[in-house]
Amino acid sequence: MSLEDAGFMEKGEVGPYFESVDTTYKGTFPINTDGGQLSAGQPVGGAGGFRHVIEGTRQIMGRADERQVAKHDVAMVNG
């Protein structure tokens, strides 16, 4: 699933969007606030994408420490 498929932008607009929007945890559209798969890889034991759910939950609860996003009332997880 891509951001376009999820309805965050129209088809074909993701490239220009990423060029113009800050997607870091301090930005206006934070993505992969914990670094994503490149930073954490797959957990041992086959938990797979569940770590994304944990990060989303931490963000909503305001418990993401130095990764905490400013507005954290909703999260989208795809895994």
Note down the domain range covering 24. 1-79
Supply the DSSP symbol for 60: H
Over the stretch 2-51, which tens digit does the pLDDT of each residue have? 889 999 999 999 999 999 999 999 999 999 898 877 776 666 666 666 78
Residue 33 tokens, joined: 């606030």
pTM summary value? 0.78
The number of domains in the chain is 1
Fill in the amino acid letter for 5.
Answer: D
Fill in the amino acid letter for 56.
Answer: G
